[in-house]
Each structure stands twice: as structure tokens, then as C-alpha cells.
Amino acid sequence: MTSRLKEKTFKKYKTLDQRYETIGRIGEGAYGIVRVARELSSSHRVAVKSFKLKLTRESEGIPFSICREINLLKELDHQNILKVKDIVLDKSDGSFYMVTPYCKLDLEKMLNYHKKQIPLDANQTRRLPPKLDRNVIKSMLYQMLCGLNYLHRAWVIHRDLKPANILIHDEGTERGVIKVADFGLARIFKDPLRKLSDDGPVVTIWYRAPELLLGAKHYTPAVDIWSLGCIFNELVTTKPIFEGRESKEAFQRDQLETIFKILGTPSEEDWPEMKDLEFYKLMTHIPHYPPNLEQHTELPSDSLELDLLKRMLCYDPTKRITAAEALKHPLFDQKPVAYMYCFGSDKRLSYNYPDQPIYSENVAQRPPNAVQQPLPQSNVQSVAQQLATTHQKPHHHHHHHQAPSQQQTQQQPATEQTVSSSSNLPQTKQSSSSNGVESKQQQQQTDKKRKKSTKETNSKKKKM
């Protein structure tokens, strides 16, 4: 390993508390704790994600999925992609810290707010909050497509798009800006060293494309577009559109049948390559269903929004609309236009989303402010080599667009010229109910299923 590589990977051994003031804990993931802190130089809040490493002679140090996420986030630079601000290793307790901008809101939290009854007046009358304004959803979708277009042009597939992985800035100059996050399952798909299917199941099951469910060995960025189509409809209805049950078997019959009941059973005319997929013969045992999408969305049958949704949820991945094509869809030429800050200046589009709980930490617990020291030479080499070789560097020579200034994006609607540098908030859950009213029992069941799906996805990441 060259000294230049060492310097690039381990250039910061200062204490985190020289730059950040810890505020408290906000969550815990598969590998460690997430805290919120304040950057001393700017007073901006940041998220500090800590990972516990097993720095032993037998251990390779950083888990593979974390290396993948770090490599991608260090190279990607786009307004709608979460950016890594700092990376620090701490020898004293085997911790590794990744610092990113803090977003207190994600689409899952936003959707939960819009589907749960809360007191809305002085008499404490409980009722559902208003649904998201249709133009807010349009602006969110546009931003998400901008982020995906950037990723796909950089030869990156996200492979785990879901509401919880779409963050929203809810304060400061970037209020209303979407950030695509969690790149633990992301892969570069240009000339991969091994088949993408070798990674095992990807994408949380409710957002998993049919080609993945049928066992495709090779797949494309079209899997991300399918996931985004699911999120789009969920923003409209506040309920997941394809809410199937995940099986322990490789063939996910219930999830496929859930999709068929809504979109209709695909024919070989619709999708010629379908017959070549691993689980095609098993699929033929599922009953035939007619298309029924209009009953599971609240979009008008003759609307441009429904037309775009159908193109995003096309069975054949070769015919599914791409992010670049979707950004040119007539929907985004229709007034009111999509804005790069989805909440805009209209106070009617602002919602009183609850603050994310921040928990104070036990003084006896070690906060993320330990003195950072170089790892033992053997482990430094092991970790640095992981960071350097996990991925090829994404290609950026094909990115033609420059990110607009904050002032420009606040004052101007989204245009085709800003496609690869800005985009709007994506989010909310979909519900087949036309009035948006959901019983408490249904909400609890949905939340329980979502937690189970998330837990299983995190378990798969950990094994990778």
C-alpha cells in the first residue's frame, strides 16, 4: 500500500469533539449507533454513524457493505445524494465514524405522520392530517428522479430504495431537498467483477421488481425505477401498493401474486424474456388476474401522473421508463411545475412534522469524541485496502450538468437543464382507501410488517 493511499484513507486522526459537539443518540442500526451532533465551525447539525469493528488478526475490519457505502458516497457528488462529510477511525475501542448531513425527516416518518390521527384543533379533536399536496409529491418525485438519473449515469444501482432510505431536509437553506441515502446494497453495474445476483436478495420485498422476484441473474437500473414507482404511489395514498408477505423460500409467491392482483398477470407478449427466468415455471401456477391498478391508486384515470406511474411499473425491464426519460415526461411540463425545494415558499405546503426524538446518553457510555489514533500497521493496511479496492471509481466524465446555486433553485422551477444536479422530495405511503382513513389495527399491522421487512433486509446486509 502506498503512502499516498494511507494519507487519503487515514488523513484525519484528530478528535471528533474538536469539530463536533455531540447532542444525543437518535437511533441504532445493524452495525452501531447513530448520533446527532453540531459542527462547531458552522453550527450545522450532522449525523454521526458509528460502527464497531473487530480489529483482530483474523478480522478484516470493516464489513464489506460498509466499504461499499463509503466508497460510493466519497465519490458521488449531487444535491440529491447524501454526502459524507468526514470519516474517522478510532483504535482505542475499535470504532469507525461516518459523518453526514443531518436530516431529521425521511419519507417513512413523513408517511406515518400523514396516516395517523393526531389532535388538530383546540378541542383536541383527532383526525387525519391533510394528505400531501399533489404538487409537493410531484416535486418530490422529480428530485428523486434527478438523484437516480445521476446514479445511473455514474453506473451505480442503489438496490434498496424504500421510504426510510429517502431523507428530507426540513430546515435551513436546503429545506425541502431530497437526499437518497443508505448505499449498503449499491453496486457499480458497468463490467461488474461478478454477477449482481451473487449478492443474494436485494431490495426490501414490497419494493422489489418482478425480475428480481423471478430470479434474474442479471439486472439493470430498472429495478430502482420499479422501487421508485412503488414509493410514488405510496406518497399519493400513504399505503404500500404491493404489501405482500415475505417467505423464507427463494421463490416469493405471495409477493408476486400481490403484484399480479393489482397490475394483472403478465403475458409472454408483455414480457418475452420472462420465460427464461429461474422461477418462471413456478409463476405459472399462480392464478391469472386482470389489471386493477386504478383501484389501488388515487390518481385520476386520465392523468399524466397515472401514465408515468404505469411506465415506472412496467413488467418488462427493457420497456420500463428510465430516470432520464421520466424527467422528460409531459407531467413535468404541466403547471404547476415541480420545484427543486418541494415545500417551496407556500406556507400551506408546510406541515408540522414532529421532531425526531434525541436521547441523552449515559455519561458512562463513550460518546463519539474519542481521540483518533492510527490503527496497528497490519489492520491499517487491511482496512485501507478494503476502502481502496471494494469498488472501481464511478465514471463522471458523462455528467454534463452543473448544480444550480441555492438562489437559482429556490426561485426557479425545475427544468430539464437541472436534471442531473437537483431534484425534489420523494415520499409517502400509498393506500387503496379513497378517503385515507385507516383503522388503528391496520396501522399497527402495517408498521409491524415494515419493521419485519427492514430487519430482514438489514440482516442480509450484515451477512454480505
CATH number, position 30: 3.30.200.20
- Whose cell is 413523513? That residue is 110
**For 402-428, what is the mean pLDDT?**
39
Catalytic residue among 86, 90, 133, 160: 160
Burial 6-28 (b: 16+ CB within 10 A, else e): beebbeeeeebeebbebbebbee
Burial 253-285 (b: 16+ CB within 10 A, else e): bebbbbbbbbbbbbeeeebeebeebebeebbee
Burial class (CB in 10 A: 0-12, 13-18, 19+), 74: middle
Is residue 380 included in any domain, yes or no? Answer: no
Is residue 170 included in any domain, yes or no? Answer: yes
- Domain boundary pick from 327, 354, 381: 354
Say what the pTM is.
0.74
**Binding-site residue ranges for ATP:** 49
Q: What is the mean pLDDT of the chain?
A: 76
Q: What is the pLDDT of residue 33?
A: 87
Residue 320: which domain range? 103-119+128-354
Does 239 share its domain with 324? yes
- Domain boundary pick from 338, 354, 370: 354
Residue 405 is which amino acid? S
CATH number of the domain where residue 154 is located: 1.10.510.10
Is residue 240 included in any domain, yes or no? Answer: yes
Q: Strand pairing of 126-127 and 33-39? A: unpaired
Neighbours of 223 (CB within 10 A): 26
Is 47:33 a contact under the CB 8 Å cutoff? no
Is 52:32 a contact under the CB 8 Å cutoff? yes
**Binding-site residue ranges:** 49
- 447 a catalytic residue: no
Does 174 share its domain with 250? yes
DSSP label of 356: P
Does 191 share its domain with 137? yes
E strand or H helix at 411, and its extent? helix 406-411
Does 67 share its domain with 188? no
In the predicted model, is pLDDT for residue 417 greater than 70?
Answer: no
- Taking the C-alpha atoms of residue 85 and residue 464, their distance in angstroms, rounded to an integer, is 25
Is residue 157 included in any domain, yes or no? Answer: yes
270 versus 434: the higher-pLDDT residue is: 270
Q: What is the pLDDT of residue 176?
A: 86
Dihedral angle computed from the Cα positions of residues 395, 47, 226 and 252, in that order, rounded to the nearest 10 degrees: 120
Q: What is the pLDDT of residue 305?
A: 97
Is residue 401 included in any domain, yes or no? Answer: no
**For 187-198, what is the mean pLDDT?**
68
- All three cell numbers of 127, joined, read 383526525
Residue ranges of alpha helices (H) inside 123-192 are: 134-153
Q: What is the pLDDT of residue 309?
A: 98
Residue 224, CA distances (Å) to 175, 186, 318 in order: 25, 10, 13
Residue 446, CA distances (Å) to 26, 32, 47, 415 in order: 23, 26, 28, 37
Is residue 213 included in any domain, yes or no? Answer: yes
Is 92:370 a contact under the CB 8 Å cutoff? yes
Lowest pLDDT segment from 19-23, 335-339, 441-445: 441-445
Does 294 share its domain with 332? yes
Does 216 share its domain with 132? yes
Residue 177, CA distances (Å) to 106, 161, 263, 295, 395 in order: 11, 17, 31, 31, 25
Lowest pLDDT segment from 89-98, 172-181, 200-209, 438-447: 438-447
Neighbours of 423 (CB within 10 A): 35
pLDDT class of 195 with cuts at 50, 70, 90:
low
Query: Taking the mean position of all CA atoms in its chain, how far away is CA 67?
Result: 18
Q: 162-175 pLDDT, tens per residue?
A: 999 999 986 677 88
Does 55 share its domain with 146? no
Whether residue 336 has a cis bond before it, omega within 30° of 0: yes
Q: What is the pLDDT of residue 303?
A: 96
Q: What is the pLDDT of residue 79?
A: 94
Q: Number of structural domains, the chain? A: 2
pLDDT class of 178 with cuts at 50, 70, 90:
very high
- Domain boundary pick from 311, 333, 354: 354
Is 261:158 a contact under the CB 8 Å cutoff? no
Does 222 share its domain with 300? yes
Angle at 437 between CA 436 and CA 443, to 5 degrees: 105
Q: What is the pLDDT of residue 124?
A: 65
Does 218 share its domain with 83? no
Q: 117-161 pLDDT, tens per residue?
A: 666 666 666 667 778 889 999 999 999 999 999 999 999 999 999
Angle at 117 between CA 203 and CA 161, to 5 degrees: 10
Is residue 409 included in any domain, yes or no? Answer: no
Does 196 share its domain with 334? yes
Q: 434-446 pLDDT, tens per residue?
A: 344 344 455 556 6
Does 157 share its domain with 55? no
Does 226 share its domain with 192? yes
Is residue 300 included in any domain, yes or no? Answer: yes
- Taking the C-alpha atoms of residue 77 and residue 450, their distance in angstroms, rounded to an integer, is 30
